[in-house]
Structure 1
C-alpha cells in the first residue's frame, strides 16, 4: 500500500497594510526597464513651482486684497450702521448712560422723542442747526443801515453842533422798522431779523442806561469820524491849523512879492540895455549924417528921443528911462548938456565917439 504525502502550500509572509513594501522587480529585467521609462515620462517640468520673485508678488497681492476687503467691510458697517435718535433737550451732557443710546441735541435746536427741530432763525443741516441765510442777510442789512444812520447823525453833530447823538431803544426799533421794507410787523422772519440786528448793533455802538432803565445807543466817536463829509474835514483842519496857515500864507506872499520884484528888476535891466544900444545907434547915425550933410544939428533932445523909442506903456514907468540915462551918463562917447532950443532949456545928447 502506497501512501501519498499531501503537498503543503507555502505560506506567504503576512503583509502589513501600513508598511510600504517595494516589490522586487529586479528579478525581471523587463519589468525594471518598464518602470524606469514610466518614471521618466511622469517627471514634473522644471517651471512647475513658482520662482522666488513670483512668490513675493503673490504674497503682496494677497495682502492688498485682504486689506481692501477689511476696509470695505469697515466702510460698509460704518455707513449702514443705524443712526441714533436725538436725546431730549432736557438731558444734560453729564448723563453718560443716555448719551450712549442717543445723539446729543445740537445747539440752537429743540429735541423731543428723538426728533430734532431747529429754533426760529436756524435751519437743519445734517445733525446741526445752522443760521438761516435769509434772516442773517436781512439782519446784516438792518444793522448796517441803522449804524450808518446813527453815525451820520453823530458826524453832523460833530461838524455843525446840531442834532442828537443818543437814540433810545424804542426809537432804534422804529428806525429798524423803517429800514426793513417789504415786510409787516407780524412777519416772523422779520421779527427775528430785527431782534438779531438789534443784538449786532448793541455790540457796535456805545450804550448807556438813563432814568427808568431806558437804554440808549450812540455811534462811537472814532467811527463817526469816518462819516464826516469832505467840507467838514476841510473846515476842521483849517480851524485847527489856522496859525500855521497864516504863517505859511505870509511866507508865500512875501516870497511871491520878492520874486516879482526880482523878475521886474531883471526885465528892466535887460530892457534898459536894449534901449541904451538903440539910443547909441540913433545918436551915432545922427552925428554921421550931420557931418556929411552939414545942415543938421549933431545933437538930439533927450526927451524927444525918449518919446521916440519908448512905447506909451513904457513912458509911464520913469524908472526904466532913469536906468537908460544912467547908462548914457556912464558912457564917455556921449555928451549930455543943456541947450536953449526955441527959447526953452532942453537937455541934449550928442555922439562924440570915434
Structure 2
C-alpha cells in the first residue's frame, strides 16, 4: 500500500505569508519615519525662513511678516509701544501699567458717578463734567506717587485711563461746544453712596416706618426694663446670700463673748460697688428679703454714740434658747 504524497507548495505557503507580512510592516515603518523627517525638516526650514523675514512697515506681503498689534516695526526690529512688554513676536500689556490705567479709570468713574448720584438724592453734586475738569481732577490727585510711576510715563497712563473712563460715560456737546460727560443710569446705581441708598429706602417705606418705629421703640424700652429688673433681682439674691453667710459667721462670736451683730449700713458699704451705692435699688431689695427672713433679727442700737440699725443672726438654736 502506497503512502499519499504531501505537496511541497502546501508546506511552504505559511512561511512565505509571514515573510511578506513582515516586509509590509517594515516598509510602512520606513515610509512613516521618512514622512516624519521630511515634515520636520520642511517645518524647520519654513520657520527659519520666516524668522529671517523683516517686518512689514506699512503693508503686508509674502516677503515680510505683519507687524504685531501694539508694536512699532522697522526692518527686522520690533519695538513694543508704551505700556506693552515683548513676549516673543507679540506685545502684551504690562501688568503694572494695566493696573495703573484701571485705577485711574475707576477713580474717575467712582468720583464722578458717586457725586452725580448725590444730586439725584437732593444733595449737592455736579450733574455733568467736561473733559478738562476730569483732566484737572486726575492731575491734582497725585496718583503718580501712589502708583509709583515716573512723571514721563504717567502722562501716557493718565491719557489712557481718561480715555477708558470717557468710553464708559455718555457724552454730548454743550452750547459752548465743549464735550460734557454724563454718568449712565446703571453706573449711577452702582456707585451710589450708602447714605443716598438709605435715604431712598426711607422715602420708599416712610409709611411703614412711621408705624413701626414707635412700636419698635416701645418694645425696646419694655425689654430693656425687663432685663434690668431681672439683672437687679439676680444681683440682690447674690448679695442676700452673702449677708446671711456674714451674719451666720458673726453669730459664732457668741461663744467667745464677741459682737454677734453687724451694722446694716456698714455691711451695705462693704458688699456694694460704687455704682450700686448710688442707685440704691439693689440694696432696697436685699433689705426686703432680710425683713422676710425669720432667722435675721434687726433692731436699733447705739453704736459709738450714734443710733444704728443692726442685723443679728438668730438661727434655730438661738430661738430655742430664748424660749
For 1:104, the equivalent position in structure 2 comes to: 66
Q: Distance in 1 between matches of 2:20 and 2:70?
A: 60
Kindly indicate whether residue 115 of structure 2 is the aligned counterpart of residue 153 of structure 1: yes
**Bigger Rg, structure 1 or 2:** 1
1:185-264 equivalences under 5 Å are 186-188=151-153, 190-243=154-207
Kindly indicate whether residue 140 of structure 2 is the aligned counterpart of residue 180 of structure 1: no
Q: Is the 8 A contact 1:84 1:102 kept in 2?
A: no
* Per-residue CA distance 1:223-277 (angstroms, 9 max, x = gap): 222233444323323323445666x76xx99xx9xxxxxxxxxxxxxxxxxxxxx
* Per-residue CA distance 1:155-207 (angstroms, 9 max, x = gap): 2222242121322212212332316232577322x222212111210121122
For 2:38, the equivalent position in structure 1 comes to: 73
Q: Is the 8 A contact 2:169 2:183 kept in 1?
A: yes
Equivalent pairs counted in the alignment come to: 200
Please give the TM-score of this superposition, normalised by the length of structure 2. 0.52
Q: Distance in 2 between matches of 1:106 and 1:232?
A: 48
Kindly indicate whether residue 132 of structure 2 is the aligned counterpart of residue 135 of structure 1: no
Task: Write 1 or 2 for the structure with the bigger share of helix.
Answer: 2
SS at 2:86's partner residue? strand
Q: Is the 8 A contact 1:135 1:192 kept in 2?
A: no
Q: Distance in 2 between matches of 1:73 and 1:218?
A: 63
For 2:234, the equivalent position in structure 1 comes to: none
5+ residue gaps, structure 2: 1-10, 220-323
Q: Is the 8 A contact 1:145 1:179 kept in 2?
A: no
TM superposition shift of 1:103: 1.3
Q: Distance in 2 between matches of 1:50 and 1:180?
A: 87
1:13-92 equivalences under 5 Å are 50-80=15-45, 81-82=48-49, 83-90=51-58, 92=59
Q: Distance in 1 between matches of 2:194 and 2:111?
A: 18
Q: Distance in 1 between matches of 2:74 and 2:144?
A: 37
Q: Is the 8 A contact 1:86 1:116 kept in 2?
A: no
Pair 1:230–1:116, CA change in 2 (3 A): closer
5+ residue gaps, structure 1: 1-45, 94-98, 257-354
Q: Distance in 2 between matches of 1:103 and 1:227?
A: 46
TM superposition shift of 1:50: 4.6
SS at 2:151's partner residue? coil
Pair 1:213–1:53, CA change in 2 (3 A): farther
Q: Distance in 2 between matches of 1:233 and 1:105?
A: 51
TM superposition shift of 1:74: 1.8
* Per-residue CA distance 1:71-130 (angstroms, 9 max, x = gap): 12321331243224234423x24xxxxx12221222332222332222222233333333
